[in-house]
Structures are given as C-alpha cells and as structure tokens.
Structure 1
Amino acid sequence: MKFLNGLLLLIFLTPALFAQSHQTEKTAVLDGEPIEFHLGELVKLQVPLQTRFTKAVEIEIQVPREIFDRHANLAVSLYQNPEGAPTTEERIAWEVLPIASHFYLDVPLIANAHLLASVDTAVVKRATFPLFLSIQALDSSGETHDPAVFHVSCHWLSTNLGGFLLRTPNLSPELRQQLKILINGHKETSEGVIYLDPGVYTVHLSLPGYKSQNLNMAVRPAKITELSAVLAEDTPYVTFEAPTGTQILLDGKLVPPSAWNSLAVSKGIHTVQFTIGGYQVADNFEITRGGRHKVSLQMQIAFEEE
C-alpha cells in the first residue's frame, strides 16, 4: 500500500476540548505512523485540498489485544464537520468493531470509486474532510476511562488516478442530464470529471432520440483527458397500436398495416385518424426529436415516446 509522506494531518482531541475551544492536545503530520487514542476520545482527520486524483482514504484502526480478548462490544463512529460535541445528525458512519486486531474504514473521495467491503473493512459514503473518529463502548464492559490504547493511521488508496471529461456541444443541459455513459460497461455520472485508473477505455454514449456512439480513450495518471462528442439525431419513427381492421390515416394519407410497426416521419405536428366500424376519432400529436414513438387507439388517442 502506498501513501504520501507529510500530506495527511491528524489532530488528537479530547471531547471536552473539542466541544469548548477546538484546541489540540496532540498534533502530528502523518507519514503512515499510527497515533494513539483512548475510548471516547476524538481524532480529527484532515487531508490536503489537492486530492482529485486520489480514489479514497483508508483509515486503519489497531485494536489493543486486551480489548478483543475480553470480547468488548465497541463501535466506531465517523463524523463530518461537527459543531461542538458531535451528534448523530453529523455522523456519517457507525460500525461495530469485529473481534479482530485491525479494522478499516474506506472513505471515497470520488464518485463511483467501486470500493469493496469485507469482514474487516467498511466502505462509508463519500464525505468532505475534516472527519472526526471516535470509538465508544456499547455496554458496561468498556468504560470511557479504559486505559487501553488504540492506534489510528490513514493511507491513500490509488493515488495515480486520471480523469475523463466529456464535452457534448450539441446537447442542451436538459438533454445532457439524460445522457447515459458507460465506461467499459459500467454506468458513470453524466456530468463533470470522471476519475479512473490509468488505462485504455471504451466509452458508450446513448440518449433517446439520438444515435448511440462508441469512443476509445486513454487515461493517463494525474491528467484530464477531454473528448468531444457530437451526437447525431436519429430519424423519428412512429408505431401504431389499434385493433385489426382499423383504418389509419396520418396527415390524410392511408397507413397500410405493414407500416404500423415502423413508419418514418418528420418532426413537427401531425394529425392521425382512426376508423373502426362506425367509430372514428382523430387527434394531433407533435414529434420533437428522433427515435421511436407510439400512437395507440384506446378510449382516446394516446401518444408517447418510446
């Protein structure tokens, strides 16, 4: 596991000091060396601002032997920016410590970090530092004045990420939000920088009413790769649903049953008329973009995009 020397600041606080004046009892610049603390005490975790190419921070807790030997029931809490004494509303994670000598909390720094939890590792939600960590006893078997000493250290996970930024100049902000992006088959957020491990990727873009598009790209460490994609609008098609024997007119022209499944049309306002037996109904609908649309004869004419 790799970590960056001198970049993670760990500040040790007692609850009283934290609630009153935020003065520190012990301050250390971490290079992976553990910091000591006791039950009920708070540890402040501060990471540098420039972390955009880092996937996550892993918090490692070393549990003293005398604690798990006596099967004490303990839980670790992680708080985000508490004001005064931390509250449950400010808590972003709460995990019961397993009977083991080490436990890990992985904190993602990017969206879709794809971190995996295990028996000794919990993955918490994405958070903004500084964070505050505390271990509490769940029953009377452990008191806050327990002399047992815990150790906590933090390490970086995947510090050599690269970034991918997709630009779509012909899409409005509303359409961009509907754009589906798959990178090597995994769905990603539709906006902003997507952080990835270095390598070669296939990007699949799809949007209703537009032709799908595949792009290839290479992501390099600590670099943002920008790609521009102009999505071509698909031809509008209409399908019709009506009982057998229905006569359908579109803009005054007969639509044969063989064309009911897929009829190319232009964008704009169209008039459809259904005639079945002595019953006739007509209505207008509007095509605003490409792709498939459906017109159905029910109690009344219904139009929807597929």
Structure 2
Amino acid sequence: MAKEFASRGDMTEKAVTFSEIGRDLWAFTAEGDPNTGVIIGDDCVMIVDAQATPRLANKVVEKIRGVTDKPIRYVVLSHYHAVRVLGASAYGADEIIASDTCRAMVAERGQEDWDSEFERFPRLFQGHESIPGLTWPTMTFATKMTVYLGNRRVDLMHLGRAHTAGDIVAWVPDEGVMFTGDIVEYHSACYCGDGHFSDWGATLDAIKAYRPAAIAPGRGDALVGDEMVNAAIENTQDFVESTYRPAAAVAARGGSLKDAWDAVRAECDPKFADYAIYEHCLPFNVARAYDEAQGMDTPRIWTAERDKQMWESLQG
C-alpha cells in the first residue's frame, strides 16, 4: 500500500515541553515537531527559530510569559525553512537576524519552500491565514555576529554548511549552551533535502569543539550534559553518513535513483525507522544524496509539484 504523502496523515497534537537548559535559557520542544529556543538576557529576550505560523508562535510566547515579562527584541533564524520562520511576526521583535546566505535563500526559494512545506505538513500550518508573508531578515552577517542582551553575550555563527547552506547556531558562552537548529537532531530524522552531506560532518565537529554543556536541537528533546550532547551529535553524524554513503555508492556505479533508495533503506531502516518524520524525510534525503554524489553542489529547489513526483516515484 502506498504511504500517505509526507506528513499529511499526522494530525495528532503533540505534547509541549518547556525546559530550562541553562540559567534563563529555555527549549520549547514538542515530540519531534520543530523546536524554538529562548534566550533571556538582562533587558530583553531573543528567540531562536520562530515556528511555522503566528498561532504556533503564540504558544511559545505564552510559555515565555510564564517566566519573564521582558520584551522580545530579537528573532534569530537558524535557516530559511518555512516551518522555522513564518511565525516570526507573532513576537513583535525589533530585529530578525539570519546569515547572509539565509536571506539570499529566502529570495531564491522562500515562496517555493512555503508552498512545498504547506503541502507536506498541514498540521503545522493550521492558522496559516495569519501569516503576513515571507519572513525577511532585517540584519544579516557572513560568519559571526555578537549580540548583547544587556550583559549577556550571544554569539551567532555560521560554522559551515549542513542542513542548508546558510545554517547558523546561537552560542551563549556564560552557560556553555548552544542552539543548533536542524544541524543536530535528537531521535528525529534529519531532513537532508536541502543539505550538504559532504560538509555536515565537519560542521558537527565544529559544534562539538565548543564542548556544549547543553544543546537545544532542531527537533527532539533538549540535550543536557556531556553524555546526551555527544550521543546526539554522533547519532546525527551517523544518520547523515548512513544516508549519503549508500546513495553515493549507487551513483558511482551508474545505478538509478530507485537503486539508491533501496540501498539507503537497507542501511537506515534498521537504525532509524522509529525516528520522528523518518518516512517523511526519506525520499527527499535520497534524492538530494543522489544529486550531490553526482556533483550537484547546490540543491535543486523543491516545489509542491516536484515533491509529489518524487514521492510517487519512491514511496508510491
């Protein structure tokens, strides 16, 4: 039987957790749905990743107001994907910060990504009528930017390509806590459809070099302590390598995309089949891995039409 497209059948509400992972540092998580980070400084609040709609973002605001009444001045976008950015208007922030590359990707493929993700994951876009349009960063940087929330310092850094070309992390040195976006996941499949497999491992190594005491990952539970942090980084690396290696081997011998699909399933199903959004991600991951293995450095733009064609050819 053909599987229902992407996550169209996933309409179950997820339980929200709001965890303090360092002094005045919080992770909003929801059983494998996209996470949001909250950094509370002396005089204001910074958000890391905005959620898919203002309706979902208001759930984050509600949690924030349970711990502080300080104004929300900054929204940081770890990357350009619609499920991360389209709720930004709900926070009423003064500035929206992202990498130069992230802003360029909004211009290049933001609308296509919105249309694509809307079809893939309707539950996350309930209340989509309140989205005012594409979310445009108001401040950008190439590799590093420091923001002070009073005396609290936050370093925003592009450590390398991974989940997208423009990924950034937020590092709070006074507590040794990092907000990684989808570069790191915990018991959730990595979405690699816009990724850079050959660079992802080095970017994970760069994160590990900071020796974070805690990480708020892109999806899954907050990671507190060396054991959880290191296990999640290593598991993410294993997921990425286990997806790319078999697809690259098939491409090298002139095999088809369907051959790559079969090879990746054989490698990944035994290890990751129970992860959140695993079946959702798999066709997009295999397609991107196969393209990269054939020398395509820039991921092709996903559209709602291309999504369906890919799904039918692989998961159909």
TM-score range, shorter chain: under 0.3
As a proportion of its length, which structure holds more strand? 1
Q: TM-score, with normalisation over the residues of structure 1?
A: 0.22
Structure of higher CA gyration radius = 1
Q: TM-score, with normalisation over the residues of structure 2?
A: 0.22
As a proportion of its length, which structure holds more helix? 2
